[in-house]
Amino acid sequence: MAAQRGSLMQSHQSWTDALPLCQLCGVGSAPNCVYSPDGKGTQSHPNEDGHFRFSTECCFLYGVFNGFDGSRVASFVSQRLTAELLLGQLSTGHTDADVRRILSQAFDVVEKSYFETIDDALAEKASLQTQLPEGVYLSAQTQKIAERLKALEQEVSGGATALVALILNNKLYIANVGTNRALLCKTTSDGQNQVIQIGRAHTTDNDDELSRLAQLGLDPVRLRQTGLISGQSSTRRIGDYKVKFSYTDIDVLSAAKQKPIISEPEIHGGQSLEGVTGFLLLMSEGLIKALESAHGPEQVNQEIVSMVAAELVQQTSLEAAAQSVVERVKRLHHDAYVSGRQRAPHCAKHEDMTLLIRVINYVLADGSLTPTQGGRIYPVSVPYSNHQSTSKTSVMLSLVMPAQGTLTNGSNTASTLEGDTPTAGQSPTATLQSTNTHTQSSSSSSGDGSLFRQRGSQAAQPDETGRVPPYVDFTQFYRLWGSDHSEGQGLSGDLGPQ
């Protein structure tokens, strides 16, 4: 088995590609971004997140990985974990205890295997460090050594957090190392969404983690005040050789009796999925932090579930639903920054974002967007205040715009919008998602289309300037508005866009 794994890992780019992808799953992602004062965003480093989503004859396996200081560790972990779990290690005859043991062993083997891949580089780095002379004088030789040390440091640095979900025998198992998050959303008999967060992030805000570290001789008060450990908030992570092998050189960790930052997963399950209808969400830390920065941490779980529920109703594919949710979060984060309001200082940048949606006994619309039977989704978030309730409420409004026809240039015709669009004259549909601490409900309503000029089945064609005639007629609006506001004000009835 070990030889088989080693052989496969040498060609890991091809063997995992041959595994069947799960068709009950969709993934959305967005790269990191730093905003300039005018709100323009730029990517500050290559994407470091990773994921997988496989199905086999006996199980389903999903993972989301958040890398830091490079993507090497996240990539290695996603490849090697697959080899440690999908090459015959799991079977339908395994008990819950068996599955938990196999998952734990897989994480242990993966980290050991990763450090084996950088053993030579670490040894060379240690040897070269002994050759550097003391003092500030740099000869040509010592400068060459310094450049090599810098290259080796880039090669061996970095780590990753990992969140893995396994469905075996219709039971759900979650294995978590670090700060990613798993949510299980169950639809209740009355149509509400019950949200369950499985496990907690491994940070110094986690009392269980502080207790574990205190037993190793570390000061929990100081740890909580420090927050970040070697630049990261996670108290469990894979890789990151500095905190694993040189933790005595890190002031806040130096008193530890043994290795304080570990790669041991916290495992939950198996939880039966019998009779469950809903979806499972795996989210990278970047997605969570971006929404927390924009809206505060109190309602993040409910907001994400509300967005996902809305998109599952409107999109024809899980991939589109997941990507649309990520785009919503990205836009909310950007809007909070450019608004200059209370949350703006928290939103100057965000890290890579990944969302994996796995539906459970949930059927999407068959070949059409519901409830509008087609259309491009333009989600818009708007502030909402419920003066009759003291609970915090958020609203997500999704607007489906009517078709804008096609643009023709010579013999080539290209759609002005990606994907299917509703027919001209079709009314928009708004879906309102209202969330509170425990449940989420949704309702939909659509107008009668009276504001939309009827064009029959003929698509709107551009004029000689390349513009498409407007498909919304505001004549009635301006007439009514004018009659209401012109009395006593001496206003003329000639109202409308100037």
- pLDDT of amino acid 452: 34
- pLDDT of amino acid 468: 61
CATH architecture under which domain 17-360 falls:
4-Layer Sandwich (3.60)
- pLDDT of amino acid 456: 44
Kindly report whether the global pTM for this prediction surpasses the value 0.85: no
What whole-number distance in Å separates Cα of residue 379 and Cα of residue 394?
14
Q: Average pLDDT of each block of 10 consecutive residues along the chain (498 residues)? A: 47 66 96 95 96 95 97 95 94 96 97 95 90 71 87 92 98 98 92 91 96 96 93 96 93 95 96 95 98 93 94 93 97 95 95 97 57 33 32 35 32 32 33 34 35 43 60 65 56 44
